[in-house]
Structure 1
């Protein structure tokens, strides 16, 4: 099936992470030009860019920094002249791991505000920055990566879950705000706990619990989540917009 991605320019934020890598590889396999962003781990995205070849280029992107979205978009437009797809995959975790025994009201202000503001404002700010280029070409796809924690919840994840839930509301309204300007679609992909090459400790600790909730009795891997992301971001998707697509193995 031709997904109509050959020659299109795709930004994948957080491409140094396990899921981001799989998403970037998926778009590259369909012939897209892929912008790989990273915050700290440049070596990981450079290795990935080497695998993809001359259709990939690497840009540092700190989603919490002032004017970061504008700088990223300007750099991509200078090189490619267009932005067709944005995958908001980057995430900023807190400085400590979620603690289910901690009281959410005891989390220091600097900690919870950073998690909430950086994740929400980073994704929304970059969506705002790419929108004019998509409206100009009357074509575009936004795919926001959420988490099943946004609807299922878990003690210790209150602020991360709140940030991800915000993407659901934004994407739904953005679908209406963009749809009148052409073939521009906005959707959320909501994975559950997913097995990647960078989250082994989390999978070891909690994988059994989440696998037992799935009809498949297993966790999905990164490629299984990346497939729906690539489809939603492609020209083959002509009618799915404003939706939250759960890719959780049925959990």
Structure 2
């Protein structure tokens, strides 16, 4: 199936992480021009960009700090200078809040500066970049926003209160944004809610907790990063003509 992504410019935030790498490779296979953002893993992002270029594609690796209020505008300007267009934004980058020095089950003991950072950065980072990209999509009368979320929003887990709260807020933003953007062209906004997914960067987590999620899943296993990339790329493509304002769960059925 031709997904209609050849020559389109796709921003993948957090591209140096496990899901981000799989997304980059999947979009590159469709002929998209890739903007790969990273926060601290510059070498990984640049290596990935070279991999895309070695395969005949175009890629730009650039730093993006979700916590910086000026970063979204700077990133958008840099992408337009590099490509002249923006067609797809995949909000994949996250701040986990794992540095809270308290037991996971005592959410009320998380220091103020840590829980507010987890909530604020995860919401504001995705919303700021969406706000910057939206006028470009409206001018083109075409575009796709895909926001990555987690089944922690629906399933819950001790220690995930603030991260889940931020992702749940993103669901509400995407739903309403779909109505606003859809009034100005073929512009779609969706959330993909991922379960625990096996990547090349989370082996410790999947070894510790993977059996719990595998036992819940009808397929009896965790999904691989490449498997979740497929549905995300489809939602971000021209082949998707009618799915918008939705939360799509990609978790192996768990």
8 A contact 1:100–1:154 mirrored in 2: no
User: 1:142-153 residue pairs with structure 2 within 5 A?
Assistant: 142-153=145-156
User: 1:148-163 residue pairs with structure 2 within 5 A?
Assistant: 148-163=151-166
The corresponding residue for 1:134 is: 137
User: 1:92-131 residue pairs with structure 2 within 5 A?
Assistant: 92-96=95-99, 101-131=104-134
8 A contact 1:98–1:157 mirrored in 2: no
Secondary structure of the equivalent of 2:192? strand
Secondary structure of the equivalent of 2:208? helix
Distance 1:233 1:18, change over 3 A: same
User: Could you report, residue by residue, the CA deviation over 1:179-236 in whole angstroms, capped at 9, with x for unpaired residues?
Assistant: 0000000000011000000001100110001100000110000011100010000000
> What CA distance in whole angstroms lies between the structure 2 residues aligned with 1:69 and 1:37?
11
Structure 1: which 4+ aligned runs deviate by more than 4 Å? Answer: 97-101
Secondary structure of the equivalent of 1:122? helix
User: 1:179-190 residue pairs with structure 2 within 5 A?
Assistant: 179-190=182-193
8 A contact 1:98–1:156 mirrored in 2: no
* Corresponding position: 1:166 with 2:164: no
> What CA distance in whole angstroms lies between the structure 2 residues aligned with 1:160 and 1:207?
19
> What CA distance in whole angstroms lies between the structure 2 residues aligned with 1:97 and 1:9?
37
> What CA distance in whole angstroms lies between the structure 2 residues aligned with 1:197 and 1:85?
25
Distance 1:99 1:22, change over 3 A: farther
The corresponding residue for 1:84 is: 87
User: 1:33-112 residue pairs with structure 2 within 5 A?
Assistant: 33-53=33-53, 54-96=57-99, 101-112=104-115
> What CA distance in whole angstroms lies between the structure 1 residues aligned with 2:102 and 2:50?
38
Shift of 1:99: 6.7
Q: Which runs of 5+ in 1 are unaligned?
A: none
8 A contact 2:100–2:110 mirrored in 1: no
> What CA distance in whole angstroms lies between the structure 1 residues aligned with 2:252 and 2:203?
18
> What CA distance in whole angstroms lies between the structure 2 residues aligned with 1:100 and 1:37?
32
Distance 1:11 1:168, change over 3 A: same
> What CA distance in whole angstroms lies between the structure 1 residues aligned with 2:139 and 2:104?
49
* Corresponding position: 1:15 with 2:18: no
8 A contact 1:34–1:55 mirrored in 2: yes
TM-score, normalising length: structure 1: 0.98
8 A contact 2:102–2:109 mirrored in 1: no
8 A contact 2:102–2:110 mirrored in 1: no
8 A contact 1:88–1:123 mirrored in 2: yes
Secondary structure of the equivalent of 1:171? helix
User: 1:166-245 residue pairs with structure 2 within 5 A?
Assistant: 166-245=169-248
Q: Which runs of 5+ in 2 are unaligned?
A: none
